[in-house]
Structure 1
Amino acid sequence: MRRGVLLDLVLTNKEGLVGDVKVGGSLGCSDHEMVEFRTLHGRIRAISRNTGDFRRATLGLFKNLLGRIPRVRALEGREVQESWSIFKHHFLQAQDRCILKSKKPSKGGRRAAWMSKELLEKLKGKKEVYRMWKKGLATWEEYRNVVRVCRDAMRKAKAHLELNLARDVKDKKKGFFKYISSKRKTRENAGLLLNEVGALVTEDTEKVELLNAFFALVFTAKAGPQESQTLEVGQKVWRKEDFPLVEEDWVRDHLGKLDTHKSMGPDGMHP
């Protein structure tokens, strides 16, 4: 603010994020007035979950325990759901006995997939050289050379990881899609929406109702003239002569031209 005139305005997309707004004195020799406020934000705690540590699992004992289950006597004369519940109970008991649990840290504490132990040592060395340079114990040229070495090593590590993922995508699909999903930026909330009358919708409940009503129009809206013509054409009775003729040689010729190195299609199967 300057002499009571508002110059800048800070907007938030949620209520209750900013509080205790006060207009203080001027900032140094400037004629602008300071605006003090307090950010109301709770502390984010790291979430840890227990997951199975399959590296230390005794799979031989696990197989023996499952083999001892009297399936015929225990499942005889029972319904499908009841049989599945009994088998699941014995399966989870054997799993808890043979597979140890370990804490799985949150995403913020995980190390990057391309980060190796050698590269981590180089980055620690770069921080040490930076501290020495700030204290005057190292020259700028030394720190610059270390930065360039670490930058090149990081680029090569990322390129090597992506090359391995692309090469082994058919055998290790899980690792490939896990790396792709980690690169996507997720949005916690939707932006502002306009309703039928042109008013802005800010509440989450109103946004959900508006989106549900919009997507429901696909099933509830009346068909237009072009859609009605399409429906009439779709009701045409097809005769045997109207179907396209597909010969075996034509299918074999197309199958022989498939590229086995291409990605899978919508059916989830590789060529």
Structure 2
Amino acid sequence: MSLFNKMLASVGIGSAKVDTKLESEIVSPGGELRGIVEIQGGNVEQRIEDIYLSLHTTYVKETDDKKYTVNGLIDRFQLAESLILKANEKKVIPFSFLLPADVPLTIGKTKVWISTGLDIKGAVDPTDKDYLRVVPNQLMDSVFQSLSGLGFRLREAECEQAPHRLRRRLPFIQEFEFVPISGPFRGRLDELEITFFPNSNGDLEVLMQVDRKVRGLGSLFSEALNMDEANIRFVLNQGDIPSMQGKLHSLIQNYS
């Protein structure tokens, strides 16, 4: 019977199971994620070589003028190495770690999840999947609130393959596309795109693309040559929060 159970466990029947329970699924970039991993032994004793959590999202990749969605690994965290799990034994492993500062926000089409895996030699590896709600940190939220105050509405947010000039640790970037529906830039801009590049010291580097509205024949030629777009790079810190709206207004004004 034991040999039969081992054969079943090798194909995932009666094998160990894993379940991750998060203290909270709401997190922010650079914030702490806490929880426990529950492992329930199956019908036979099994050796678990590795227990890990991996952080994932999806992003749009383009090849030969065709776009498709691929899985992107953001980070991987090892919880434990090599242990023996007896039949029907239950183990609980607490965890706590900081999310990377460049984890994308779960806005628009973007989803982020934690995948928990057990590496069991010679058997199907059990996994568990838990979605996170990644909300803006204080500095990012200040940017969003200020743009809203200037009359911009978020139209789209998506993770896309990063061009080589913008590639950092990850192969993708998250772009936020805004349109002016009221305020001083309505009728002057077509759209505004921003991308965040968090720094390790807590500062926030921002790439902003200002797309000016076409006016007259000269502007039509400029648009055809992409000369109607202006790219601005600047760095924000916590000290900018009280005057964020005025700072963004001045930057956009200079290029609109």
- Scaled by the length of structure 2, the TM-score of the pair is 0.17
Write 1 or 2 for the structure with the bigger share of strand: 2
Bigger Rg, which one: 1
- Scaled by the length of structure 1, the TM-score of the pair is 0.16
- Which has the bigger relative contact order, CA under 8 A and spacing at least 6? 2
